[in-house]
């Protein structure tokens, strides 16, 4: 069984600056694997340990992303593939999905693609559905528990943890699934494994290798500004406890909170 896990590198925190061209300037901020992608890695490793085969971590970006891919290898992934080309810069979600889909098709033997629910930098949550649509595969989003992966029957059974309910769904393989953080607890790679993969470089595929061209974004960002600061709170004081409670309730009613 071949499982591919899609990775994205993101800034560790959100204290980034916005450049004049509307790109994000995260200079000086540590880069890490997207939080939700770590859960996807762990889930891929769990099912690989049950069924055998291999887990390939796949990422699209620059050479500086290699370090985070090595971390995934230290966690237990079998292979790493980096999609690197100047043509891949500043792509929108749909164009990025087309590039990754081309890579998955070139790999040829992929049974399951796992992604994080969303990336913590752009928060769109649209990559996994776009990838599934481009591949023409089944998609399962908001996966909070994988109940079974049956390579022989070509089926994936999983729970989708939605806001007000939990759905159990059965999807045919190959499929694309996006996972939430409650699905598992990602393992920490040992120092020995980190040292073992320290000099490993992932295989690199370019646009020419994938046979993709004309990657013009269909969606562009027209504006990007930091969110407004939260208004300061108000302290209810004066009188005894009962008077404070009444004042608080009146304030909540006034603002139609209750």
Please indicate whether residue 137 or residue 16 has the higher confidence score (pLDDT): 137
Domain positions in the chain: 2-210
Per-residue pLDDT, averaged over 193-199, amounts to: 92
Residue identified by tokens 């490793």 is: 45
The residue ranking higher by pLDDT, 93 or 24, is 93
pLDDT digits (tens, 9 = 90+) for 204-232: 999 999 999 888 777 777 776 766 777 77
Looking at the structure, give the CATH architecture of the domain made up of residues 2-210. Answer: 3-Layer(aba) Sandwich (3.40)
CA distance 20 to 27: 15
Confidence (pLDDT) at 194: 92
User: Encoding tokens for residue 229?
Assistant: 């600061």
Q: What is the pLDDT of residues 52-82, one digit of tens each?
A: 999 999 999 888 889 899 999 999 999 999 9
Answer yes or no: are the C-beta atoms of 26 and 16 closer than 8 Å: yes
**Beta-carbon count within 10 A of 16 CB:** 17
pLDDT band at 26 (very low <50, low <70, confident <90, very high): low
What pTM, to 2 d.p., does this model score? Answer: 0.82
Inter-residue contact 116 to 179 (CB < 8 Å): yes
* pLDDT at residue 29, rounded to an integer: 67
């Amino acid at each position: 069984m071949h499982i591919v896990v899609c990775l994205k590198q993101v800034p560790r925190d959100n204290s980034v600056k916005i450049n004049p061209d509307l790109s994000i300037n995260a200079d000086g901020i540590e880069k890490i694997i997207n939080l939700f992608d770590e859960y996807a890695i762990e889930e891929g490793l769990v099912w690989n340990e049950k069924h055998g085969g291999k887990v390939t971590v796949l990422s699209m970006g620059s050479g500086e992303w290699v370090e985070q891919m090595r971390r995934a290898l230290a966690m237990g992934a079998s292979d790493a593939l980096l999609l690197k080309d100047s043509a891949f810069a500043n792509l929108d979600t749909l164009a990025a999905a087309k590039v990754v889909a081309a890579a998955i098709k070139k790999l040829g033997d992929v049974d399951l693609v796992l992604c994080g629910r969303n990336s913590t930098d752009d928060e769109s949550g649209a990559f996994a559905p776009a990838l599934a649509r481009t591949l023409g595969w089944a998609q399962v989003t908001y996966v909070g528990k994988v109940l079974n992966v049956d390579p022989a029957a070509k089926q994936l059974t999983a729970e989708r943890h939605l806001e007000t309910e939990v759905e159990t769904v059965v999807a045919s393989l190959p499929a694309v699934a996006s996972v939430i953080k409650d699905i598992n607890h990602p393992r920490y790679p040992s120092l020995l494994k980190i040292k073992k993969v320290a000099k490993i470089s992932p295989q690199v595929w370019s646009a020419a290798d994938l046979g993709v061209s004309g990657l013009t974004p269909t969606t562009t960002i027209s504006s990007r500004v930091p969110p407004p600061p939260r208004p300061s709170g108000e302290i209810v004081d004066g009188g005894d406890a009962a008077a404070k409670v009444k004042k608080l309730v009146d304030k909540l009613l006034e603002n139609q909170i209750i």
